[in-house]
């Protein structure tokens, strides 16, 4: 049986100007509700509907056979969560997990995964997709860009973050671990 680390809960910050505008019950027709975060000095966001929670960083247990984008797995509230190296894919350099980072746990293709992020900024509203520049969607996992007063923020779709071959490798690695338990 594999033992795993436990990641404690982290508080999600709020951006004062956006908190009143965010209603988690349904998405505004004027835009998509997102949660903004920082990674590698760059700004990103994910759809708020895909966010489960944020936890403080912890050392994940390695998952043999998974791709390089998978840093390992964690036990979060009794659920196995796959930790993904967001910076490797989005910023082009691998992550060395530090205590100051957070794991943003999102739903990706029916399973929970944790994106390693430097900090979470807070919720906001993205403009309708028609307002996003076409070049923002060049990476398959990027849905668009938020035009904020102090720069751009790329909006990432968690369900498309892993490539097909990485999802297959992850499923095989998880099946191998499950098989080792018996």
Could you tell me the fold of the domain covering 16-180?
A: OB fold (Dihydrolipoamide Acetyltransferase, E2P) (2.40.50)
In which residue are the tokens 């944020």 written? 54
pLDDT value, residue 170: 84
- Sequence spans of domains, the chain: 16-180
State how far the Cα of 12 lies from the Cα of 156, in Å rounded to an integer: 18
Token pair in block for residue 1: 């049986």
How far is residue 129's CA from residue 73's CA, in Å, rounded to a whole number? 33
Closest by Cα among 104, 108, 140, 138 to 122: 104
Checking if the pLDDT of 2 tops 50, the result is no
Residue 25 φ/ψ region, left for φ over 0, alpha for ψ in the -120 to 50 degree band, beta for the rest: alpha
Q: What is the pLDDT of residues 87-107, one digit of tens each?
A: 998 888 888 899 999 999 999
| 60 in Cβ contact with 73 (< 8 Å) | yes
Of the two residues 176 and 28, the one the predictor is more confident about is 176
User: Is residue 26's pLDDT more than 80?
Assistant: no
The strand ranges marked E within 129-168 are 142-148, 151-156
Which pLDDT score, from 0 to 100, does residue 140 have? 73
Convert the pLDDT of each residue in 115-163 to its tens digit. Answer: 999 999 989 877 665 455 554 455 678 777 777 777 778 888 888 888 8
Do the strands 142-148 and 51-56 form a parallel or antiparallel pair, or are they unpaired? unpaired
What's the chain's average pLDDT?
76
Q: What percent of the chain has pLDDT over 90?
A: 32
């Amino acid at each position: 049986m594999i033992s795993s680390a436990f990641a404690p809960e982290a508080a999600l910050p709020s951006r004062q100007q956006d908190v009143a505008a965010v209603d988690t019950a349904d998405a505004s027709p004027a835009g998509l509700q997102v949660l903004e975060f920082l990674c590698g000095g760059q700004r990103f966001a994910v759809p708020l509907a895909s966010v489960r929670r944020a936890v403080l960083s912890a050392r994940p247990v390695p998952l043999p056979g998974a791709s390089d984008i998978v840093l390992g797995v964690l036990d979060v509230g009794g659920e196995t969560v796959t930790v993904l190296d967001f910076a490797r894919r989005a910023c082009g350099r691998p992550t060395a997990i530090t205590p100051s980072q957070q794991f943003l746990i999102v739903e990706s293709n029916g399973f929970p995964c944790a994106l390693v992020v430097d900090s979470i900024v807070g919720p906001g509203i993205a403009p309708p997709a028609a307002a996003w520049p076409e070049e923002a969607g060049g990476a398959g996992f990027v849905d668009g860009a938020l035009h904020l007063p102090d720069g751009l923020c790329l909006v990432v779709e968690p369900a498309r973050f892993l490539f097909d071959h990485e999802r297959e490798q992850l499923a095989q690695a998880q099946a191998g671990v499950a098989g080792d338990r018996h």
